[in-house]
């Protein structure tokens, strides 16, 4: 009887060990997949990490909420009205539902803050201002590889 209990205990330990190991591997795989998706490639080796994206979005939304702007070296004030740009494929449909407008704001590969008089560079985050007062992150766009004065969609 003692050996049956020992076998039962051993079997229970083996089953419990395999159950515990599986979710850890899956979780690690999920984090790796999220890390890959968290980087948006805007071409020419310009890749935006999730922290760089967050910096651009958070700065833009803070200015939208406060009603303030930042004037770039190009004389434009940001966040800048982007309107309804159907020519930029990739902006999610949800960004154009029940919205007032789209706004764009400079984003940088590093953790730089866009400040008065600084160069806005070619990359922007797109924010939708919805009619209910919410803000939606609608992706990154760039002038790189686009027709003169135009943007192309990098991703979301």
Q: What pLDDT does 83 receive? A: 79
pLDDT digits (tens, 9 = 90+) for 21-69: 444 444 444 433 334 457 888 887 788 889 999 999 999 999 999 999 9
**Integer angstrom CA distances of residue 13 from 10, 23, 27, 53:** 5, 16, 22, 45
Q: Mean pLDDT over residues 131-153, rounded? A: 92
* Class of the domain covering 40-155: alpha beta
Which residue did the predictor score with more confidence, 82 or 17? 82
Burial per residue of 91-119, b for 16 or more beta-carbon CB atoms within 10 angstroms, e otherwise:
beeebbeebeebbbbbbbeeeeebeeebe
Burial class (CB in 10 A: 0-12, 13-18, 19+), 40: buried
Predicted TM-score (pTM) of this structure: 0.73
Q: Where are the domains of the chain?
A: 1-37, 40-155
């Amino acid at each position: 009887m003692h050996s049956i209990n020992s076998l039962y205990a051993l079997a229970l330990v083996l089953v419990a060990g395999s159950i515990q190991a599986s979710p850890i591997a899956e979780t690690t795989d999920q984090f790796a997949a999220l890390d890959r998706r968290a980087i948006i490639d805007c071409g020419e080796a310009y890749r935006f990490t999730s922290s760089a994206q967050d910096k651009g979005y958070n700065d833009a939304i803070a200015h939208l909420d406060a009603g303030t702007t930042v004037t770039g070296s190009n004389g434009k004030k940001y966040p800048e009205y982007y309107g309804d740009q159907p020519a930029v494929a990739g902006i999610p449909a949800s960004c154009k539902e029940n919205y007032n407008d789209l706004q764009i704001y400079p984003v940088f590969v590093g953790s730089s803050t866009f400040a008065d008089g600084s160069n806005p560079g070619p990359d922007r985050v797109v924010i939708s201002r919805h009619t209910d007062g919410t803000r939606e992150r609608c992706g990154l766009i760039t002038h790189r590889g686009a027709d003169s004065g135009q943007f192309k969609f990098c991703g979301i």
